[in-house]
């Protein structure tokens, strides 16, 4: 289920810290694995403060020019370098409006672009060639997020950036919180079956062959897939094969195995699925309904 913004679950402390940091004029770095609510948390705080929210996806193509902005080339030819033909990038948009600039995947951003952010964090202003000095309006704040466990295509964050930010670590929520998230984010009303899907997702984080497990997003997708797959096949949601195939599609791409592990993600998910949902039922009871006492 997508669309409307969902509330943050079990993040009261992090929300208070983020709110206090921004109110004090500090910039913030949110660190944690994917699916732990970093973006949702910031959107909630920004909405509560009634300030603009400018999102930037961090990647190797986020150059200083794309972050700051540029002069419209066609108008430069006819009018020259005039301030009114400058096209603000997300950084200047947030600075001029006193909004929040949210940079996702900060450790994927090129070093020269991060240097621009360092200047703004230190001076609360930026000097753009041919445009001049642009001060940050009151309320401007930078919040960056990153997954410190992902080493592919990332760069090490400098101590200079850590020195200019308050760091808020965001780990996975509690099991009870993830059960609530799955209940809110899916149409599944079979609570025991849904809870076992949470158990499956959480078990991917503790398996010795898994380096990075799945977030609760994997459970949301698995439940959604299972519901639609069961409908297409005309079988109950609790059908064992439907659940397994949905878990395979939703989780095998999300987990990362240890480099020395000879197994496949499918092997690991199948093992964990059987632990959560029981072994494959005999063909005469293929629906795999919940064991007695769990229906």
Q: Are residues 124 and 205 in the same domain?
A: no
Sequence-separated (6 or more) residues with CB below 8 Å from residue 269: 204, 247, 248, 251, 252, 255
pLDDT value at 152 more than 80: no
Q: Could you give the 3-state DSSP secondary structure of residue 237?
A: coil
- Tell me, rounded to whole angstroms, the distance of Cα 161 from its chain centroid: 21
Task: Report residue 182 as tokens.
Answer: 């799955």
Question: What's the full length of the chain, in residues?
Answer: 295
Q: Are residues 253 and 153 in the same domain?
A: no
pLDDT in tens, 40-51: 888 888 888 778
Q: Are residues 34 and 146 in the same domain?
A: yes
CA atoms of 295 and 284, how far apart (whole Å): 19
Give the model's confidence band at 6: pLDDT under 50 very low, under 70 low, under 90 confident, else very high.
low
Q: Are residues 120 and 224 in the same domain?
A: no
- The pLDDT score that the predictor gives to residue 3 is 41
Whether 256 maps to a domain, the answer reads yes
Whether 7 maps to a domain, the answer reads no
Give the model's confidence band at 295: pLDDT under 50 very low, under 70 low, under 90 confident, else very high.
very low
Q: Are residues 65 and 183 in the same domain?
A: no
Task: Report residue 24 as tokens.
Answer: 């004090």
Whether 225 maps to a domain, the answer reads yes
Inter-residue contact 54 to 101 (CB < 8 Å): yes
Whether 4 maps to a domain, the answer reads no
Q: Are residues 19 and 109 in the same domain?
A: yes
Sequence-separated (6 or more) residues with CB below 8 Å from residue 279: none
Q: Are residues 20 and 155 in the same domain?
A: yes
How do 165-169 and 27-31 pair as beta strands?
A: parallel
CA atoms of 222 and 274, how far apart (whole Å): 15
CA atoms of 190 and 237, how far apart (whole Å): 9
Across the range 93-101, mean pLDDT stands at: 95
- Tally the domains of the chain: 2
Domain that holds residue 23: 12-169
Q: Are residues 206 and 142 in the same domain?
A: no
Cα-based torsion angle of the residue sequence 159, 101, 112, 156 in order, rounded to the nearest 10 degrees: 40
Q: Which residues pair with 210 in a beta bridge?
A: 257
CATH code, domain carrying 209: 1.10.8.80
Task: Report residue 239 as tokens.
Answer: 């059908």
Q: Could you give the 3-state DSSP secondary structure of residue 211?
A: strand
Q: Are residues 36 and 149 in the same domain?
A: yes
- The pLDDT score that the predictor gives to residue 52 is 87
pLDDT in tens, 60-83: 999 999 999 999 888 888 888 888
Last residue of a domain, one of 136, 152, 169: 169
CA atoms of 121 and 281, how far apart (whole Å): 59
Q: Are residues 44 and 163 in the same domain?
A: yes
pLDDT value at 8 more than 60: yes
pLDDT value at 270 more than 60: yes
pLDDT value at 2 more than 60: no
CATH code, domain carrying 56: 3.40.50.300
Q: Could you give the 3-state DSSP secondary structure of residue 71?
A: strand
- The pLDDT score that the predictor gives to residue 114 is 94
- The pLDDT score that the predictor gives to residue 78 is 82
Last residue of a domain, one of 136, 169, 202: 169
- The pLDDT score that the predictor gives to residue 293 is 36
Give residue 208's region: left, alpha or beta (phi > 0; psi -120 to 50). alpha
Across the range 229-243, mean pLDDT stands at: 97
Q: Are residues 183 and 139 in the same domain?
A: no
Whether 3 maps to a domain, the answer reads no
CA atoms of 119 and 96, how far apart (whole Å): 16
Q: Are residues 223 and 180 in the same domain?
A: yes
Inter-residue contact 127 to 108 (CB < 8 Å): no
Whether 292 maps to a domain, the answer reads no
CA atoms of 68 and 85, how far apart (whole Å): 14
């Amino acid at each position: 289920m997508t669309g409307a913004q969902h509330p943050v679950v079990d993040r009261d402390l992090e929300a208070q810290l983020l709110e206090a940091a921004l109110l004090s004029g500090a910039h913030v770095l949110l660190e944690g694995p994917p699916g732990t609510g970093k973006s949702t948390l910031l959107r909630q705080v920004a909405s509560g403060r009634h300030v603009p929210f400018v999102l930037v996806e961090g990647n190797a193509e986020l150059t200083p020019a794309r972050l700051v902005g540029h002069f419209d080339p066609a108008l430069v030819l006819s009018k020259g370098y005039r301030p009114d033909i400058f096209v603000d990038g997300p950084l200047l948009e947030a600075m001029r409006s006193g909004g929040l600039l949210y940079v996702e995947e900060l450790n994927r951003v090129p070093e020269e672009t991060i240097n621009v952010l360092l200047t703004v964090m230190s001076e609360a202003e930026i000097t753009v060639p041919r445009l001049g000095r642009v001060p940050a309006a009151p309320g401007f704040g930078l919040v960056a997020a990153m997954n410190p466990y992902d080493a592919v295509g990332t760069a090490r964050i400098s101590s200079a950036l850590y020195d200019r930010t308050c760091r808020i670590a965001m780990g996975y929520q509690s099991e009870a919180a993830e059960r609530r998230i799955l209940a809110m984010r899916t149409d599944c009303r079979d609570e025991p079956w849904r809870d076992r899907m949470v158990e499956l997702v959480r078990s991917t984080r503790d398996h010795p062959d898994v380096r990075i497990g799945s977030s609760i997003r994997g459970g949301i997708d698995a439940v959604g897939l299972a519901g639609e797959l069961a409908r297409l096949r005309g079988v109950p949601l609790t059908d064992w094969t439907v659940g397994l195939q949905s878990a395979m599609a939703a989780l095998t791409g999300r987990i990362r195995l240890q480099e020395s592990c000879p197994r496949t993600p499918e092997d690991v998910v199948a093992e964990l699925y059987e632990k959560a949902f029981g072994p494959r039922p005999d063909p005469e009871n293929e629906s795999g309904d919940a064991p007695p006492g769990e229906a």
